[in-house]
């Protein structure tokens, strides 16, 4: 069985972060492991509090896994602090980690800042060059590329600028544009548009986490990057189409819709 590691924050409501990543790995038949960077008290409406995990413990979780188990892919999500980013990069380089998917989480859908301002420089200089695939959303890409983005042409230009900062591939997610849900993949040479119609739902909590974890799972299984991204986007679109109206705010995606469909359970929820 292939094995993937998520380095991310815990979302108590189970829709984003570590919880979304582990469910996504399981839905892909990949064994999931975790190094937790922070614990958030969070639900579908708000992030209420965040406790950072000490840097030393973040590093030791990563060491504990790599010293014992072969890791086929790594997904990195919420890492708020500069010192934690630097330690993660140091440990990943030390263990020669491969197939690294970085979701540069900055602000939650509910508006909580998940990246401290002084951590942006470390994200740029340390984490971006380690990424096989970097998956910014539009607000994150605007910060990383230093330009406003209004349309697909702007997404393509920003993806090219960000790819110049070090990641092998940039997948710029278009979920924040008003029209469709088209994402742009750039590998330094060619732009590929991954087109999807916008699904009419308010329940999109954890979409970015689910997508990046699905890419990592597909890379762990040995897919080349373009196929891994295309299949992950297809999985995500299904997970949004079957998103769950759990809670009073932005509900989570359905990670096991395919399994539930086969079992005849989909209609019961
Ligand atoms: N309503 C929707 N219908 C279909 N696809 C969507 C919808 N909303 C978002 N997506 C897709 O979900 C993925 C993540 O979108 P988005 O750009 O919102 O990222 P994000 O803000 O990082 O997500 P999150 O912060 O929830 O983790 C992208 O592939 C995007 O195209
Ligand atoms: C622990 C954690 N990681 C990531 C997100 C981003 O997800 P979203 O933008 O859907 O709130 C989150 N809310 N919580």
pLDDT at residue 269, as a whole number: 57
Does the active-site annotation cover 206?
yes
Through-space distance between the first and last CA atoms of the chain, rounded to whole angstroms: 30
pTM of the model: 0.97
Q: Which CATH superfamily is domain 3-268 in?
A: Ribokinase (3.40.1190.20)
Q: What is the Cα–Cα distance from 203 to 205, expressed in whole angstroms?
A: 6
* φ and ψ at residue 31, rounded to 5 degrees: -75, 125
Does the active-site annotation cover 208?
yes
The verdict on the CB of residue 211 being under 6 Å from ligand 1 is: yes
Q: Which of 208, 221, 251, 253 is catalytic?
A: 208
- Please tell me the distance between residue 54's alpha carbon and the centre of ligand 1 in angstroms: 30
Q: What is the Cα–Cα distance from 162 to 181, expressed in whole angstroms?
A: 20
Q: What is the Cα–Cα distance from 5 to 216, expressed in whole angstroms?
A: 9
Task: Confirm if 145 and 161 have CB atoms less than 8 A apart.
Answer: yes
Task: Confirm if 119 and 143 have CB atoms less than 8 A apart.
Answer: no
Domain-wise residue ranges, the chain: 3-268
The verdict on the CB of residue 136 being under 6 Å from ligand 1 is: no
Q: What is the Cα–Cα distance from 256 to 266, expressed in whole angstroms?
A: 10
* φ and ψ at residue 142, rounded to 5 degrees: -60, -40
Take atom 7 of ligand 2 and give the residue whose Cα is closest: 206
**Residue 191's closest CA among 146, 160, 225, 148?**
160
Q: What is the DSSP string of 38-69?
A: EEEEE-SS-EEEEEEPPHHHHHHHHHHHHTTS
Q: Which residues pair with 11 in a beta bridge?
A: 40
pLDDT at residue 178, as a whole number: 85
Task: Confirm if 225 and 168 have CB atoms less than 8 A apart.
Answer: yes
Q: What Cα–Cα distance (Å) separates residue 84 from each residue in 122, 127, 207, 217, 266?
A: 9, 11, 24, 24, 40
Task: Confirm if 106 and 115 have CB atoms less than 8 A apart.
Answer: yes
Q: What is the Cα–Cα distance from 99 to 4, expressed in whole angstroms?
A: 9
- Please tell me the distance between residue 46's alpha carbon and the centre of ligand 1 in angstroms: 18
Q: Which of 75, 109, 173, 221 is catalytic?
A: 173
> What is the residue-level pLDDT of the chain in tens, covering all 269 positions?
999 999 999 999 999 999 999 999 999 999 999 999 999 999 999 999 999 999 999 999 999 999 999 999 999 999 999 999 999 999 999 999 999 999 999 988 778 888 998 999 999 999 999 999 999 999 999 999 999 999 999 999 999 999 999 999 999 999 999 878 999 999 999 999 999 989 999 999 999 999 999 999 999 999 999 999 999 999 999 999 999 999 999 999 999 999 999 999 987 65
Q: What is the Cα–Cα distance from 10 to 184, expressed in whole angstroms?
A: 28
Run of H or E including 209 = helix 207-220
| Choice from 21, 40, 105 to test ligand 2 binding pocket (greatest atom count within 8 A of CB) | 105
Using alpha carbons only, give the angle 175, 11, 58 rounded to the nearest 5 degrees.
110
């Amino acid at each position: 069985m292939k094995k993937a590691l998520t380095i991310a924050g815990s979302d108590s409501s189970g829709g984003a972060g570590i919880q979304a990543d582990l469910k996504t790995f399981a839905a892909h038949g990949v064994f999931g492991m975790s190094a937790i960077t922070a614990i958030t008290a969070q639900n579908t409406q708000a992030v209420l509090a965040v406790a950072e995990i000490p840097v030393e413990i973040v590093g030791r979780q990563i060491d504990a896994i790599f010293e014992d188990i072969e890791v086929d892919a790594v997904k990195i999500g919420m890492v708020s602090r500069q010192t934690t980013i630097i330690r993660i990069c140091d440990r990943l380089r030390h263990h020669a980690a491969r197939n690294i998917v970085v979701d540069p989480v900055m602000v939650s859908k509910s508006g909580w800042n998940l990246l401290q301002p002084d951590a942006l420089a470390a994200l740029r200089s340390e984490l971006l060059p380690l990424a096989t695939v970097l998956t910014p959303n539009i607000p994150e890409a605007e910060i990383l590329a230093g330009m406003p983005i209004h349309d697909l042409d702007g997404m393509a230009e920003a993806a090219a600028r960000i790819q110049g900062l070090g990641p092998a591939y940039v997948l710029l997610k278009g979920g924040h544009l008003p029209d469709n849900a088209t994402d742009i993949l750039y590998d330094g040479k060619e732009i590929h548009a991954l087109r999807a119609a916008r699904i009419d739902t308010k329940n999109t909590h954890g979409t970015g986490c689910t997508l990046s974890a699905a890419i990592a799972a597909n890379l762990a299984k040995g897919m080349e990057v373009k196929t891994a991204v295309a299949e992950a986007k297809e999985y995500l679109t299904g997970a949004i189409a079957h998103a769950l109206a759990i809670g009073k705010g932005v509900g989570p995606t359905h990670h096991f819709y395919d399994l539930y469909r086969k079992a005849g359970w989909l209609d019961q929820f």
